[in-house]
């Protein structure tokens, strides 16, 4: 669980994930755009991760072990995206997938204990951090590079800190 007051944690918990209801629930029709109505069994809706996580953990009946909702893997952890990451991690637009991609993946992998996704994302972070360092260190690389637009919020902070550190190092070496 993240920091209660961290805006990035809050935004990561708000990422929408596809869910399917395992029972009909009165009064939740507003989730489908039908206020005052019920949400029917097998209805598919996108819910914020924090809510989907709670509904997926709550068990309807002890003997069945069935929860209120089943969560499907969102695009950010789909096989297609993980394969694209394995192929070329620097070409994946993380910001488009989820602005707080790493925080969201951290929560997803801790909920589902997904070692393949965890290892793939950790390797991607290493490769992208190397590329971020290259851009932050090299003054001749343009700011308008597409890779820099694809950074998630964590990577943007990393780029800013690395760039500032390099600037301070150059100033220190000049003195």
What is the per-residue pLDDT across 54-84, written as a single tens digit (0 to 9) for each? 888 887 666 667 888 999 999 999 999 999 9
Checking if the pLDDT of 142 tops 60, the result is no
- How many whole angstroms from its chain centre is CA 106? 8
Beta strands 16-21; 44-48: pairing state:
antiparallel
For the chain, domains (ranges, CATH) are 1-72 (1.20.58.2050), 76-175 (1.20.58.2050)
Q: 18 forms bridges with which residues in the sheet?
A: 46
Helices (H) and strands (E) in the chain, counts: 8, 3
Question: What pLDDT, on a 0 to 100 scale, did the predictor assign at position 144?
Answer: 58
Consecutive H or E run containing 151:
none
Location of structure tokens 């069945």: 64
What mean pLDDT value characterizes the chain? Answer: 87
**Residues 159, 130: Cα–Cα separation, whole Å:** 10
Structure tokens at 93: 């637009």
pLDDT of 28 > 60? The answer is yes
pLDDT on residue 143 = 60
Model confidence over 149-169: pLDDT tens digits? Answer: 999 999 999 999 999 998 898
**pLDDT recorded at residue 79:** 92
The rounded distance, in Å, linking the Cα atoms of 62 and 114 is 25
pLDDT digits (tens, 9 = 90+) for 38-51: 888 999 999 999 99
């Amino acid at each position: 669980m993240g920091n209660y007051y961290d805006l990035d944690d809050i935004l990561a918990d708000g990422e929408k994930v596809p869910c399917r209801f395992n029972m009909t629930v009165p009064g939740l029709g507003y989730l489908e755009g039908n206020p005052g109505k019920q949400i029917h069994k097998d209805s598919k809706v996108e819910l914020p991760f924090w809510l989907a996580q709670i509904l997926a953990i709550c068990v309807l009946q002890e003997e069945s072990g069935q929860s209120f909702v089943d969560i499907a893997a969102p695009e950010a952890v789909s096989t297609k995206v993980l394969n694209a990451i394995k192929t070329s991690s620097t070409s994946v637009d993380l910001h488009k997938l989820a602005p707080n991609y790493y925080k969201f993946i951290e929560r997803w992998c801790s909920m589902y204990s997904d070692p393949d996704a965890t290892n793939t994302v950790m390797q991607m972070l290493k490769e992208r951090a190397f590329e971020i360092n290259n851009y932050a260190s090299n003054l001749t690389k343009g700011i308008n590079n597409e890779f820099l637009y694809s950074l998630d919020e964590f990577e943007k902070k990393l780029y800013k800190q690395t760039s500032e550190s390099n600037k301070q190092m150059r100033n220190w070496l000049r003195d």
